[in-house]
Chains A and B, each alone.
Chain A
């Protein structure tokens, strides 16, 4: 298992390199001048030029890429253009918020999606199945910001049960969790539908398997059969997909972060791209890529834990 992780990490290094290469190609393509953005309207040409030299923007793109790369390996992602703070600090202080948001979204989608999927799979074609089917596809189809806004208007503005903005007091876990409820719902609700559909489909398949019939033949209680014998297997493809889905959640996180005025990496990257704050973009993308890979790795390891057939292969 450990060695498997090591191998995956090796692969991750290559992926990260590829991502960075892509990124630099795009930076090269996209118009806009980081120096001009950084210095504002009153700067002179000479000043802009000087900053460009300082940022290494005057050099050919491949040299910039190489420099970034070499430095990144030494843990130095450079300093961001505007405040000149180390990119590593900037990204790492935002990361926990995004992680919390995505974790919250996952919790919503797992806590609601999986039971719904199971429930509908037990009696396919029944009324419950149909209604939940329509609801879950509906939930997939509603854009997440619409959900976010309405949740906010109802629970924060009208009822005032929950806060509307921010991530909560930094020292107060309860406060932070309260602040997380609405944004994570906005991020996770679409996935509730997705998971419900997926779990339903794979449950239907697993419930046909002969070991389930054997379990029934031994008179095991239906609950045990559904949740222990069938679900542990039906969940496997879902786990892989959830790992992949993190990427998607990262992009919907931007919306939630804007609408709920939460700090976070999604918005950080978004802002950095729009302000052409390229050191920050590269650094943040690097970190999120590593994160993405790590989460996929974890997903695979979770599959390994759940599935001994895979575990022995890891």
Chain B
């Protein structure tokens, strides 16, 4: 049973010098009770993807075609008030910069109250809910924490508050966009463990974005690999990390310094540049940088699926 199904999603941005195709034929699923990770080059459209799910694309962006099925409902066809009914209740989000995600002039307690505005509980019950949530994310002294303002918390605590808010309505889907970038290893691990705990307690699905392959490996059940606005490969974490099918995934894993057992001063990279998203080239999107590029790569690659792991590459057909 999939909580979220994305089918052939295409998103474009209007810019001064032409249309920018930020997402192209993106398809993947988020099954119930699973944590799905998204990795990919910076600028490949990860944040754009979650913004389209939430219906919060920038004014110049639009969903060209494709479906976003959430619990069977196509989100792209909903109007703004129907979407609003889902946001926060069924889908919650922790954004890329959790430090800036809290309103600086409203106390944490009030913000947590506002989120529950749909509930018919009394105010004190709502506050109890909020305090309970803060307890779960291990914020000390939570009664007074509710009356404090975001700037009075350290970065790590703000991050955990953002997670608490996202979890409070016990959503079916939690989206987390690079929530640990600015944290040191100990806090990063603590955050991951927290997410795992909560996911198990609430029983939701998680869509988790990170550049840190170690974190993905540790946290996620499934992984989606994106490149230049396309999903190039998806599968279970083990499949992706142990048996990558797409050359880009392969190269990406090789590039991780953590994967280098020998200490080396020269780290591996993928030569070449991300293609210009404004120019639509036929053929494989990764072809220009691919180490096993052949002539056939100039035509659109097929999607090949093996044991639930699928990738878009000509090499797999052979």
Residues of A within 8 A of B (CB): 209-211, 213-221, 224, 228-229, 232-233, 306-309, 312
Between-chain CB contacts (< 8 Å), 12 pairs: A209-B100, A210-B101, A211-B102, A214-B101, A215-B114, A218-B114, A218-B115, A220-B114, A224-B117, A233-B104, A308-B104, A309-B149
The answer to whether A217 and B87 have CB atoms under 8 Å apart is: yes
Contacts beyond the supplied A232-B106, A309-B104: 4 A-B pairs with Cβ under 8 Å: A211-B103, A217-B88, A218-B92, A219-B84
Q: Given A209-B100, A210-B100, A309-B151, are A216 and B105 neighbors across the interface (CB < 8 Å)? A: no
The answer to whether B105 and A217 have CB atoms under 8 Å apart is: no
- Compute how far the CA of A162 lies from the CA of B106 in the bound complex, rounded to whole angstroms: 42
The answer to whether A229 and B97 have CB atoms under 8 Å apart is: no
Residues of the B chain whose Cβ atoms lie less than 8 Å from the Cβ of A232: 105-106
- Compute how far the CA of A53 lies from the CA of B162 in the bound complex, rounded to whole angstroms: 74
Asked whether B85 is an interface residue with its Cβ less than 8 Å from the other chain, the reply is yes
Q: Given A211-B101, A211-B104, A308-B105, are A220 and B117 neighbors across the interface (CB < 8 Å)? A: yes
The answer to whether B105 and A306 have CB atoms under 8 Å apart is: yes
The answer to whether A220 and B100 have CB atoms under 8 Å apart is: no
Residues of the A chain whose Cβ atoms lie less than 8 Å from the Cβ of B54: 216-217
Residues of the B chain whose Cβ atoms lie less than 8 Å from the Cβ of A210: 95-97, 100-101
The answer to whether A213 and B104 have CB atoms under 8 Å apart is: no
Tell me which of A209, A211, A215, A219 contacts B85 (CB under 8 A). A219
Residues of the A chain whose Cβ atoms lie less than 8 Å from the Cβ of B107: 308
The answer to whether A220 and B104 have CB atoms under 8 Å apart is: no
Tell me which of B83, B88, B103 contacts A229 (CB under 8 A). B103
- Give A267 Cβ to nearest chain B Cβ, in Å: 40
Asked whether B86 is an interface residue with its Cβ less than 8 Å from the other chain, the reply is yes
Tell me which of B88, B104, B152 contacts A218 (CB under 8 A). B88
Asked whether B56 is an interface residue with its Cβ less than 8 Å from the other chain, the reply is yes
A209, A215, A219, A224 pick with most chain B CB within 10 angstroms: A219
- Compute how far the CA of A56 lies from the CA of B117 in the bound complex, rounded to whole angstroms: 70
Task: Please tell me the size bucket of the interface on B.
Answer: 20 to 34
Q: Given A211-B104, A232-B106, A309-B151, are A220 and B115 neighbors across the interface (CB < 8 Å)? A: yes
- Compute how far the CA of A209 lies from the CA of B149 in the bound complex, rounded to whole angstroms: 17
- Give B299 Cβ to nearest chain A Cβ, in Å: 39
Contact with A along B141-160 (1 / 0, CB 8 A): 00000000101100000000
Residues of the A chain whose Cβ atoms lie less than 8 Å from the Cβ of B114: 215, 218, 220, 224, 228
The answer to whether B93 and A214 have CB atoms under 8 Å apart is: yes
The answer to whether B104 and A217 have CB atoms under 8 Å apart is: no
Residues of the B chain whose Cβ atoms lie less than 8 Å from the Cβ of A306: 105
- Give A251 Cβ to nearest chain B Cβ, in Å: 33
* Chain B residue at minimum C-beta to C-beta distance from A216: B56
Asked whether B223 is an interface residue with its Cβ less than 8 Å from the other chain, the reply is no
Contact with A along B104-122 (1 / 0, CB 8 A): 1111000000110100000
Asked whether B165 is an interface residue with its Cβ less than 8 Å from the other chain, the reply is yes
- Compute how far the CA of A71 lies from the CA of B56 in the bound complex, rounded to whole angstroms: 65
Asked whether B89 is an interface residue with its Cβ less than 8 Å from the other chain, the reply is yes
The answer to whether B95 and A217 have CB atoms under 8 Å apart is: yes
A215, A233, A306 pick with most chain B CB within 10 angstroms: A215
Residues of the A chain whose Cβ atoms lie less than 8 Å from the Cβ of B101: 210-211, 214
Q: 10 nearest interchain CB pairs?
A: A219-B87, A218-B88, A219-B88, A308-B149, A214-B101, A217-B93, A219-B84, A210-B100, A211-B103, A232-B105
* Chain A residue at minimum C-beta to C-beta distance from B116: A218
* Chain B residue at minimum C-beta to C-beta distance from A124: B59
* Chain B residue at minimum C-beta to C-beta distance from A313: B151
- Compute how far the CA of A217 lies from the CA of B92 in the bound complex, rounded to whole angstroms: 7
Tell me which of A209, A211, A218, A309 contacts B87 (CB under 8 A). A218
The answer to whether B103 and A215 have CB atoms under 8 Å apart is: yes
- Compute how far the CA of A235 lies from the CA of B181 in the bound complex, rounded to whole angstroms: 32
Q: Given A307-B104, A309-B104, are A219 and B86 neighbors across the interface (CB < 8 Å)? A: yes
The answer to whether B151 and A312 have CB atoms under 8 Å apart is: yes
- Compute how far the CA of A255 lies from the CA of B115 in the bound complex, rounded to whole angstroms: 50
- Give B40 Cβ to nearest chain A Cβ, in Å: 21
* Chain B residue at minimum C-beta to C-beta distance from A211: B103
- Compute how far the CA of A214 lies from the CA of B106 in the bound complex, rounded to whole angstroms: 14
Residues of the B chain whose Cβ atoms lie less than 8 Å from the Cβ of A219: 83-89
- Compute how far the CA of A102 lies from the CA of B106 in the bound complex, rounded to whole angstroms: 30
The answer to whether B115 and A312 have CB atoms under 8 Å apart is: no
Residues of the A chain whose Cβ atoms lie less than 8 Å from the Cβ of B86: 219
- Give B59 Cβ to nearest chain A Cβ, in Å: 9
Residues of the A chain whose Cβ atoms lie less than 8 Å from the Cβ of B89: 219
- Compute how far the CA of A306 lies from the CA of B149 in the bound complex, rounded to whole angstroms: 12
Residues of the B chain whose Cβ atoms lie less than 8 Å from the Cβ of A217: 54, 56, 87-88, 92-93, 95
Residues of the A chain whose Cβ atoms lie less than 8 Å from the Cβ of B92: 217-218
Residues of the B chain whose Cβ atoms lie less than 8 Å from the Cβ of A307: 104-105
The answer to whether A213 and B95 have CB atoms under 8 Å apart is: yes
A218, A221, A228, A229 pick with most chain B CB within 10 angstroms: A218
The answer to whether A220 and B106 have CB atoms under 8 Å apart is: no
The answer to whether B152 and A312 have CB atoms under 8 Å apart is: yes
- Give A261 Cβ to nearest chain B Cβ, in Å: 44
- Give A128 Cβ to nearest chain B Cβ, in Å: 16
- Give A8 Cβ to nearest chain B Cβ, in Å: 22
Residues of the A chain whose Cβ atoms lie less than 8 Å from the Cβ of B95: 210, 213-214, 217
* Chain A residue at minimum C-beta to C-beta distance from B84: A219
